[in-house]
Amino acid sequence: MINGKLRIAAVGDLHCPRHSGEVLHSLFVSLPDHADVILLCGDLTDYGKPDEAALLVQHLQPVLRIPVLAVLGNHDYECGAHEEVQRILKTAGVTVLDGTGVEIEGVGFAGVKGFAGGFGDRALQPWGEQVLKDFVHETVNEALKLESALAKMQTPDRIVLMHYAPIFQTVDGEPAEIVPFLGSSRLEEPLNRYAVTAVFHGHAHHGTPEGRTRDGVPVYNVAMPLLRRAFPDRQPVRFFEVDARREINT
């Protein structure tokens, strides 16, 4: 911490090993000099294979001397080995959050993968075939997990990391056909209810870097492909200072 401010660096959609080792090494090697906490917002691997997780751990070595928090994304579930992926990350020292939270230097962090379903009046409703009801209930369950994690926190500042988007603004720019699969408004409700300080998510590679919930909570899309395209002259990571509640525009 510097001047009483906890420095956060957030990025998602590493898709290891789709992004080369050189790219990932360049990203992580200098982060400990600029951040006190690293947030990894899902799709850490490309196909959810244990060997991909093991390779990612190698690239993460420069930052593992500071707290690294992560949530899994849909790609991390692809091979059905997500529990092993999670075990490999945890063994290396990464804190994987799934409806759980931790406190670091008096700041609360809650994490959940989230799920799809769409936004606002166009959100999918639990009506009709059982498979559609199950789809919606998956999103509801993820929202409830997030709410439970936030409800247990006593810290004045609460930071949330997830993979799927909680608002439409940060997926705006994606093809309309896939927008319902990029997140859900149901994930937004706990963020407003518990006056979250900031939210970081990934998943939408062609979305928009930032937006706000209905109640003004800042939401940042930190998908690495999006940040590389939107800010080509800087490292693809979003920096944020919690204590002063002021974003660092670097």
Q: What is the DSSP string of 123-188?
A: S--S-SSHHHHHHHHHHHHHHHHHHHHHHT---S-EEEEESSBSSSGGGBTB-GGGGGGSBBGGGH
Yes or no: say if 219 and 201 are a contact pair by the CB < 8 Å rule: yes
Q: What is the DSSP letter of 47?
A: S
- Check pLDDT > 80 for residue 1: no
Cα angle, residue 124 at apex, residues 120 and 129 outer, rounded to 5°: 165
Mean pLDDT of 81-96: 98
Q: Which domains does the chain have, with CATH numbers?
A: 7-247 (3.60.21.10)
pLDDT band at 22; cut points 50, 70, 90: confident
Mean of pLDDT over the chain = 94
Closest CA to 230 of 1, 3, 11, 9: 11
Structure tokens at 14: 């590493």
Task: Give the C-alpha separation, 111 to 68, whole Å.
Answer: 12
Yes or no: say if 118 and 185 are a contact pair by the CB < 8 Å rule: yes
pLDDT at 129: 93
Residues 6+ apart with CB under 8 A from 58: none
pLDDT at 240: 96
Task: Give the C-alpha separation, 75 to 41, whole Å.
Answer: 12
**pLDDT tens-digit series, residues 104-150:** 999 999 999 999 999 998 888 998 999 999 999 999 999 999 999 99
pLDDT at 222: 98
**pLDDT tens-digit series, residues 187-228:** 999 999 999 999 999 999 999 999 999 999 999 999 999 999
pLDDT band at 21; cut points 50, 70, 90: confident
